[in-house]
Amino acid sequence: MKKISFALMVLFLLLSAIDTEAAGRPYGTSALMVVVERESGSVVVIDSVEHEFLGRVEGLGDLRHATIVFSRDARFAFVIARDGTLSKIDLLTLSLERQAKAGETSIGIAISRDNRYVMVCNYSPGGAVVFDSRDLKKVKEIPAIYKEGAPPSRTVGPLDTPDNLMIFALMEGNSVWVVDMKAEGFPVIKKFDGAGETPYDQLITPDGRYYVVGFEKSDWMGLVDTWRLDTIRKIDVSERRATGDKAAPVHHIPHFESWAISGRYAFVPAFGKKRVLVYDTENWSLKKSIPISGTGLFVVARPGGREVWVDNTGAPGGPEERLIEIIDTETLEVKDRIDAGKGAIDPQFTAKGEAAYVSIREEDRVAVYDTDTKKVIRDFKVRRPSGIFSSYRAGQFGL
């Protein structure tokens, strides 16, 4: 009888370990890859040092456009789902610790410099919401009312700064707002109205000083010096419409968050063009326009800055959607192409750049590439993977 009970116990432990293959061993949290499974409302957690599957956390809502930020110690991941579900995941226990409702349709998330607050931007009902990062209790709503009688604007962002500010943009309001996270009540201390038509995404430079916002319908980007907060400068991007090549359909809007900054150059996916634009960040003048196979979604610098990896979007099932293209940051030319698989998207690097993780969404897998040889070193079975978020972002501004 004891033998039967022991056998049943062993069987139970084996079955319960299926989704936590390596979670029984000790591991740290500063080198994890958290991969969104967009269709099933779950994330997969992978150790990017040993390239081992650790586990899966489910019940996170509609993850069609999920964004993740990390607590300063990389212990917790905060996930905002498209349906407004805000989740706090414990990355050591691979468990869902808390959840809250941020809105009906949410689009962006950031954590304050002091690690105390999480801000979420909403499409519906518009505006931004601030939560206590410890218990996810709502502490402030910031309505995005930009003119009398108009409904609240959709908001995008937000991003954190070294001065413990939060910056986000109003899509209908064509404005950029700055919130002081140090002051009682989180006041909006600056409004850059008339910034540009329909802001859609934004970034902050790695040093946290310069905030850049892109516009769907204006031939410029907006640049704000977060030290001065005196003006929003227009950076000309009319070249994206004047290259002479045919405008490409926008199947996916480029993500500014993963702009590549290498040395003094910024590598930017052109909106509606099969190009990556290179800007000199000393004066934000255009340096070069680099042709690529499709329209870029994520443009990501390999740590060390020698390469920039770009995914390509196009017509669903088209050949360009298989390609990851690699730009040499010295020659400013595409030097290599990887046929990664159907629906290759979102290359993300380990902290020191020895490996790159790529979602192959139409093949239900994540491929891990050796960045020196450009060869696959590991494949993971992941259900309809999309965004990949490395926990080393915990110590970076705007990520």
Query: At 65, is the pLDDT very low, low, confident or very high (cuts 50, 70, 90)?
Result: confident
Per residue in 105-114, pLDDT (tens digit) is 999 999 999 9
Q: Does the pLDDT at position 9 exceed 50? A: no
| Mean residue pLDDT across the chain | 89
pLDDT value, residue 242: 47
User: Three-state SS string across the chain, please?
Assistant: CHHHHHHHHHHHHHHHCCCCCCCCCCCCCCCEEEEEECCCCEEEEEECCCCEEEEEECCCCCCCCCEEEECCCCCEEEEECCCCEEEEEECCCCEEEEEEECCCEEEEEEECCCCCEEEEEEEECCCEEEEECCCCCEEEEECCCCCCCCCCCCEEEEEECCCCEEEEEECCCCEEEEEECCCCCCCEEEEECCCCCCEEEEEECCCCCEEEEEECCCCEEEEEECCCCCCEEEEECCHHHHCCCCCCCCCCCCCHHHCEEECCEEEEECCCCCEEEEEECCCCEEEEEEECCCEEEEEEECCCCCEEEEEEECCCCCHHHHEEEEEECCCCEEEEEEECCCCEEEEEECCCCCEEEEEEHHHCEEEEEECCCCEEEEEEECCCEEEEEEHHHHHCCCC
Structure confidence at residue 284 (pLDDT): 85
Q: How many CA atoms lie within 13 A of 231 on its CB side?
A: 3
Distance from the Cα of residue 306 to its chain's centroid: 21
At 313 the pLDDT is: 85
Q: Model confidence at 18, in pLDDT bands (50, 70, 90)?
A: very low
Residue 25 pLDDT grade (very low, low, confident, very high; cuts 50, 70, 90): confident
pLDDT digits (tens, 9 = 90+) for 235-275: 877 654 545 566 555 555 555 565 788 888 999 888 778 99
* Rounded mean pLDDT, 323-351: 96
Share of the chain above pLDDT 90, in %: 73
The average pLDDT across 282-287 equals: 88
11 pLDDT more than 50: no
pLDDT of 203 strictly over 90: no
pLDDT of 350 reads: 96
Give the pLDDT of residue 100. 98
